[in-house]
């Protein structure tokens, strides 16, 4: 079952079927104005290394081979550098072109994560 990550008081939310079967960590208290960045790429591209480099600390597990070590979506929230009232949330994601997961399933999990991490009735402004 997915874990909840909270910056304050925990808010319980129903989990999407795809997310509830995974170990994806959900952001339970996303607020309007928060910036959520899904860090995506192929297996071995350096998604976790990028997160660690940006945060200047080792928080995301990094693999030493072309086999993916990121098996669940995991958010890393920090105060937004330009506006500390908002949060910048870097989300480590599973790698594409992996022998462990189908790319379509990875995308479904990302969508489920985004839905589960937003408030009911709230719309997201997705930018690619």
- The answer to the question of residue 121 being in a domain is no
β-strand 35-39 against 74-80: which pairing, if any? unpaired
Domain that holds residue 45: 3-116
Q: Read off the pLDDT of residues 1-32 as tens digits, 9 standing for 90 and up.
A: 344 444 543 333 444 444 445 689 988 777 88
- The answer to the question of residue 128 being in a domain is no
- The answer to the question of residue 81 being in a domain is yes
- The answer to the question of residue 27 being in a domain is yes
pLDDT of the residue at 21: 55
- The answer to the question of residue 126 being in a domain is no
Question: How many independent structural domains does the chain possess?
Answer: 1
d(CA 65, CA 111): 27
Neighbours of 89 (CB within 10 A): 20
For the chain, which ranges sit under pLDDT 50?
1-6, 8-20
């Amino acid at each position: 079952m997915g874990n909840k990550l909270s910056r304050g008081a925990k808010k319980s939310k129903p989990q999407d079927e795809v997310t509830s079967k995974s170990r994806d960590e959900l952001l339970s208290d996303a607020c309007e104005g928060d910036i959520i960045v899904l860090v995506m790429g192929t297996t071995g591209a350096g998604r976790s290394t990028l997160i660690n480099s940006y945060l200047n600390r080792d928080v995301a597990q990094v693999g030493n081979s072309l086999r993916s070590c990121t098996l669940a979506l995991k958010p890393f929230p920090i105060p937004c550098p330009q506006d500390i009232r908002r949060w910048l949330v870097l989300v480590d994601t599973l790698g594409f072109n992996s022998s462990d997961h189908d790319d379509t399933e990875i995308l479904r999990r990302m969508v489920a994560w985004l839905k589960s991490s937003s408030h009911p009735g709230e719309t997201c402004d997705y930018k690619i």
